[in-house]
A and B are shown apart, each in its own frame.
Chain A
Amino acid sequence: MWLTNSSVGRKMVMGVTGLFLVLFVTFHVLMNAVAIFSAEGYNAICSFLGANWYAILGTLVLAAGFVIHIIYSFWLTLQNRRARGNDAYQVSKRPANVEWASQNMLVLGIIVVCFMIVHLVQFWAKMQLPELLGEHIEPGMYFIETTFSQVWVLPVYLIGFIALWFHMTHGFWSAFQSLGANNSIWLERLKATSNVWATIVCLLFAIEAIWFTFML
């Protein structure tokens, strides 16, 4: 199977799942924004994404996207370490136009995953999970209020968003490159789009977290 056996195929899997996750975080940040403007609207979205068949299906697809992306990332990194060999260079310099993020994607990804686990425990484990188990749950706004009233939450979230920003600025255009949808002209355009998209998403996330901490 060339999606597992060939390097180009493996990178395509990384690209496709990565772009899917970019769409997911974009949807997520827009959904959060509703909570700033209307508590009822946000509660409605939460109940809509509860224990319904389409929400469960969506959650499963999303989880699959995450799991494949994460498994492939460790697998690719192990292969790349082996290809690189055991002897490191004594002196090694990063060329000017090589992004720092591009050489630290695994570390950035691990930070994002750690943040995600904290986030899932705080929200998903109290929202969709108990609902699936048939328990009664509070409306969505309740969890935002209780979570962000804790002092340590905001700094942890901001660290997660910063890591996500670095991860996305490289990941977005890199996915197009891996899928072959790139050339010398589009390379610069896609890099600019990466930066703009990642900045909008992560800045909105940060604004929302700050709003929930201080304005509710």
Chain B
Amino acid sequence: MESNISFTLKVWRQAGPKEQGGFKEYPMKDIPTDTSFLEMLDILNEQLVEKGEEPIAFDHDCREGICGMCSLYINGHPHGPATGATTCQLYMRRFHDGETITVEPWRSAAFPIIKDLMVDRNAFDKIQQAGGYVSFNCGGAQDANAILIPKTAADEAMDSATCIGCGACVAACKNGSAMLFVSAKVSQFALLPQGRAEAARRVKAMVSKMDELGFGNCTNTGACAAECPKNIKLSNIARLNREFLCAKFKD
């Protein structure tokens, strides 16, 4: 059932990384509830361009919830009030007529603001580069059926691998910790025989890179898993701790 709603959008505007930012309010009139949140921002930006004002900068790419590019902290939740969905999968029917919708960027020392709602998430790429991969030798791949993998392990590895690296876990965490992201990346390999070979090196390298980049210490509040658009489970963090401690005790 489509209807139109009018609301006030309160958006964080910041001209550049070093500039002083602040909230600016934009009245939005007659927005169809079937509009997605990002389309709504597109409509606003078009209006701003027509008026000769600077459009709002925000990250987005695939707009189907798989690229991990969109962010936005909407009304106190990363990716907004919907659960298990990214901002691009959020629709205006989640909001009410006359409401004030507050839109903020991810806030974490490791994710500095580039402009407006856009933050620098390169730190995640650096953690991945530190060890979030499997080394392969050249030559023909062996038959897939030669390596037997239990269905439960394969499923769990696949669940962990659904992490899109959007950074909502860091944004939700009061400690600015990246543990859910790193643990998902460690788990997706640690659960499979192909990834086991380098498991110890991987977990040590990724944790040490994470600490170096200034992410916080996990205190197990669970806000990350509660806000994750891909429903990455908290048990991944326990697995990361286990892998790390075992690797360190073996040294």
Contacts and interface: CB of A to CB of B under 8 A. Distances in A.
Interface of A: 2, 5-12, 76, 79-80, 82-85, 87-99, 102-103, 105, 170, 173-174, 176-184, 187
Interface in B94-119: 102, 104, 107-110
B226 interface: yes
Contacts of B63: none
B241 A179 contact: yes
Given A8-B207, A90-B102, A94-B223, A178 B75 contact: no
A83 B219 CA distance: 13
Which A-B residue pairs are the 8 nearest by beta carbons? Answer: A180-B242, A83-B216, A95-B226, A93-B76, A83-B176, A182-B238, A80-B175, A180-B241
Contacts of B210: 7
Contact of A84 (B216, B218, B227, B234): B216
B238 to A, nearest CB: 4
A179 B239 CA distance: 9
Interface string B193-230: 00000000000000110110011111111110011000
Contact of B109 (A84, A95, A98, A170): A84
Query: What class of interface size applies to chain B in its complex with A?
Result: 35 or more
Contacts of A95: 77, 172, 222-223, 226-227
B245 A103 contact: no
Interface centre among A9, A80, A93 (most CB of B within 10 A): A80
Contact of A10 (B107, B208, B215, B217): B217
B159 to A, nearest CB: 10
Given A5-B211, A180-B243, A180-B245, A84 B222 contact: no
B244 A90 contact: no
A84 B178 CA distance: 11
B33 interface: no
B234 to A, nearest CB: 6
Contacts of A92: 76
B240 interface: yes
B24 interface: no
A174 B216 contact: no
B47 interface: no
Per DSSP, are chain B's interface residues mostly helix, strand or loop, or mixed?
A: mixed
Nearest to A191: B222
Contacts of A79: 216-217
Contacts of B227: 95
Contacts of A6: 207-208, 211, 244, 248
A90 B104 contact: yes
A187 B207 contact: no
B207 A84 contact: no
Contacts of A8: 207, 240-241, 244-245
A97 B226 contact: yes
Contacts of A96: 226
Given A179-B245, A182-B238, 14 more contacts: A5-B211, A7-B177, A7-B217, A80-B175, A80-B219, A83-B109, A83-B216, A84-B216, A89-B104, A98-B226, A99-B222, A173-B220, A184-B233, A184-B234
B237 A177 contact: yes
B45 to A, nearest CB: 21
A92 B102 CA distance: 10
Contacts of B214: 82-83
A103 B221 contact: yes
Nearest to B221: A102
Contacts of B237: 177
